[in-house]
């Protein structure tokens, strides 16, 4: 199953970008052992439209355009469902076992995600109830993707 990220907002050089690269690199290298292939981070700059609804609609259009037909879409949103790392790994594993070929995890910009995306999404997950900046969310989900592979492959990186 091919897995990629979609993110609104560009990540500038700095510690967050380095950490994201480190975990996505580990994920890309370890993923094939459990049937995951890392594709890419599709990054779009925040819309410059003057109102939030238009900005979110434009950002959502870019996301929807980049999605493969029948691809799984997971939204990250602080109001989403909280899963522990094992449950997140098992969710990814279950999509893989159902024969899903593409999975995209989407991170919104400063305005959050457009309401239309919630109808299209297969799951909406949170990384805790607090609101994080998109740079940190990218870092957190990159680490959780790598952790999910270690859980599914029985690697000792993940310990409880």
Ligand X SMILES: C[S@@+](CC[C@H](N)C(=O)[O-])C[C@H]1O[C@@H](n2cnc3c(N)ncnc32)[C@H](O)[C@@H]1O
The minimum distance between CB 69 and ligand X, in angstroms, equals 23
Instruction: Residue 135: count other Cβ atoms within 10 Å of its Cβ.
Output: 20
48-87 footprint of ligand X as x/- string (CB under 6 A): ----------------------------xxx---------
The pairing of strands 102-107 and 2-8 is: parallel
Site size toward ligand X (CB under 6 A) is 17
119-122 long-range Cβ contacts below 8 angstroms, 24+ apart = 120/64, 120/67, 120/73, 121/73, 121/74, 121/75, 122/72, 122/73, 122/74, 122/95
E strand spans, the chain: 2-8, 37-44, 72-82, 102-107, 123-126
Does residue 148 bind ligand X (CB under 6 A)?
A: no
Instruction: Residue 97: count other Cβ atoms within 10 Å of its Cβ.
Output: 11
Does residue 143 bind ligand X (CB under 6 A)?
A: no
The minimum distance between CB 78 and ligand X, in angstroms, equals 4
Site for ligand X in 102-141 (CB under 6 A): 107-108, 110, 112-113, 126-128, 130-134, 137
The minimum distance between CB 140 and ligand X, in angstroms, equals 8
- Give contact residues for ligand X (rule: CB under 6 A): 76-78, 107-108, 110, 112-113, 126-128, 130-134, 137
Per the annotation, where are the binding residues for S-adenosyl-L-methionine? 76, 108, 127-132
């Amino acid at each position: 199953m091919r897995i990629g990220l979609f993110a609104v907002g560009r990540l500038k050089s700095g510690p967050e970008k380095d950490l994201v690269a480190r975990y996505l690199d580990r994920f890309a290298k370890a993923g094939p052992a459990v049937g995951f292939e890392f594709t890419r981070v599709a990054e779009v700059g925040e819309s410059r439209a003057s109102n939030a609804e238009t900005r979110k609609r434009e950002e959502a259009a870019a996301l929807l355009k980049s999605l493969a037909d029948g691809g799984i879409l997971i939204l990250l949103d602080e109001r989403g469902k909280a899963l522990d790392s094992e449950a997140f790994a098992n969710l990814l594993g279950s999509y893989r076992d159902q024969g899903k070929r593409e999975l995209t995890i989407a991170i919104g910009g400063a305005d959050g995600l457009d309401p239309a995306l919630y109808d299209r999404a297969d799951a909406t997950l949170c990384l805790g109830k607090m609101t994080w900046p998109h740079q940190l969310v990218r870092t957190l989900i990159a680490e959780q993707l790598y952790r999910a592979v270690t859980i599914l492959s029985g690697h000792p990186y993940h310990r409880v």
